[in-house]
């Protein structure tokens, strides 16, 4: 499927532009189907975007927010994407949104993944909005090079849901939606910032295995057009 690059002068201008695009997509979903859904990524990049989106005046009580992926840590941890979203997105008008975490206090990450799959199945498919990030190793979601379940995660025939992932570059065990859950979002976004990430993207757009740079799964096989938002 196609990709479109949207370039902004600064991260702050990107945050406002992306918040406008995403809030319009959520409002459109609510108008069409009565509810809307969004899956967002964690990490350091999206904070300003979350803060801009939280201020948008839409029917947040009709929006379900979840995570593209999560570290298998409780929300009290400073490594938690749940905590990042709570602190920066679920504030102000957006505090009315319904949040579905991926982390569950289960005996294992595998048990938590089953609970997260069952819990998020009620969201329905496809997501209205998915916002992906990308690591400097070319991972997206928790599709890490060398990951324990990478093949399963990126296989288009794997059923929608949340699975575990462990990898050298991932830190804690991860919980991640599968490629099949994410790639057909009505609005599919890749949000990256900095010159370094632009170089990584250019390499990912070149030849090579998807397993080497899993962002290639989205660049090459996403059913939806991939909207790439970048600022220096
Ligand atoms: O849990 C996570 O870390 C994210 O979901 C992950 O996929 C993130 O998007 C990339 O690692 C980029 O992270 P930065 O924005 O910190 O570069």
118 vs 75: CA distance, rounded Å? 19
Whole-model pTM over 0.95? yes
Mean pLDDT of the chain: 98
Give the tens place of pLDDT for each residue, 39-77.
999 999 999 999 999 999 999 999 999 999 999 999 999
Give the pLDDT score at 169.
Answer: 87
**Helices (H), ranges, the chain:** 11-33, 47-54, 81-88, 109-120, 150-154, 179-182, 195-204, 215-221
Give the tens place of pLDDT for each residue, 136-167.
999 999 999 999 999 999 999 999 999 999 99
Q: Measured from the CA of 141, which atom of ligand 1 is nearest? A: 7
Beta carbons of 89 and 56 less than 8 angstroms apart: no
Per-domain boundaries in the chain: 3-218
* Residue nearest (by alpha carbon) to ligand 1 atom 3: 43
The CATH class for the domain spanning 3-218 reads: alpha beta
| Residues sharing a CB contact under 8 Å with residue 91, sequence separation 6 or more, in sequence order | 51, 54
Tell me the CA distances in angstroms from 34 to 29, 124, 163, 185, one per residue in order: 7, 13, 29, 17
Give the tens place of pLDDT for each residue, 69-125.
999 999 999 999 999 999 999 999 999 999 999 999 999 999 999 999 999 999 999
Burial 164-200 (b: 16+ CB within 10 A, else e): bbbbeebeebbbbbbbbbbbbbbbbbbbbbeeebbeb
| Residue of 43, 134, 175, 201 with the most ligand 1 atoms within 8 Å of its CB, for mutation | 43
| Residue of 133, 147, 230 with the most ligand 1 atoms within 8 Å of its CB, for mutation | 133
Q: Identify the burial level of 152 via C-beta atoms within 10 angstroms of its C-beta, where 0-12 means exposed, 13-18 middle and 19 or more buried.
A: middle
Whether ligand 1 lies within 6 angstroms of the CB of 81 is answered as yes
Whether ligand 1 lies within 6 angstroms of the CB of 45 is answered as yes
54 vs 34: CA distance, rounded Å? 20
């Amino acid at each position: 499927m196609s990709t479109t690059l949207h370039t902004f002068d600064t991260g702050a201008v990107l945050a406002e532009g992306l918040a406008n695009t995403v809030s319009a997509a959520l409002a459109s979903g609510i108008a069409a189907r009565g509810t809307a859904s969004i899956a967002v990524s964690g990490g350091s990049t999206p904070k300003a975007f979350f803060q801009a989106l939280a201020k948008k005046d839409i029917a947040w009580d009709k929006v379900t927010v979840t995570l593209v992926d999560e570290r298998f840590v409780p929300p009290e941890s400073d490594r938690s994407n749940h905590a990042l979203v709570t602190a920066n997105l679920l504030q102000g008008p957006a505090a009315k949104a319904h949040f579905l975490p991926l982390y569950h206090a289960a005996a294992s990450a595998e048990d938590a993944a089953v609970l997260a799959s069952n819990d998020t199945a009620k969201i329905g498919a496809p997501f209205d909005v998915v916002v992906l990030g990308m690591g400097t190793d070319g991972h997206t979601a928790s599709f890490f090079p060398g990951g324990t379940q990478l093949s399963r995660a990126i296989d288009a025939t794997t059923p929608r849901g949340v699975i575990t992932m462990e990898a050298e570059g991932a830190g804690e065990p991860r919980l991640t939606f599968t490629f099949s859950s994410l790639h057909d979002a009505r609005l599919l976004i890749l949000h990256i910032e900095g010159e370094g990430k632009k170089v990584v993207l250019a390499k990912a757009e070149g030849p090579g295995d998807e397993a080497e740079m899993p962002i290639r799964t989205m660049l090459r096989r996403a059913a939806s057009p991939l909207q790439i938002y970048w600022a220096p």
